[in-house]
Amino acid sequence: MTRRPDSPIEHAVPGRFEGQTAIVTGSTRGIGAGVAKRLAAEGANVVISGRTADAGEAVADEITDGIGAGEATFVRADMRDPEDIAALAEATADEFGGIDVLVNNAAVQTETAADEATIEDWDFVLETDFRAYWLAARATLEHMDRGAIVNVSSNHAYSTMPAHFPYNAVKAGINGMTRAMALDVGPSVRVNTVAPGWVEVERTREELPEGRLAEVESIHPTGRIGVPADVAGAVSFLASPDAAFVTGTSLLVDGGRGAVMQDDTLPDYRARED
Any idea which residues carry the catalytic annotation?
Answer: 167
- The span from the CA of 231 to the CA of 252, in Å, is 10
Q: What is the chain's length?
A: 274
| Residue 208: half-sphere exposure toward Cβ, Cα within 13 Å | 17
Residue pair 43/17 in contact (Cβ under 8 Å)? The answer is: yes
- φ, ψ of residue 74 to 5 degrees: the values are -110, 135
Cα–Cα distance for residue pair 156/252, rounded to 1 Å: 10
Q: Could you give the CA distance from residue 247 to residue 149 in angstroms, rounded to a whole number?
A: 9
Q: How many CA atoms lie within 13 A of 31 on its CB side?
A: 30
Q: How is the beta sheet containing 250-253 ordered, strand by strand?
A: 72-76, 45-50, 21-24, 101-104, 147-152, 189-196, 250-253
Cβ-based neighbour number of residue 241 at 10 Å:
9
Question: Could you give the angle at the alpha carbon of 114 between the alpha carbons of 108 and 117, nearest 5°?
Answer: 60
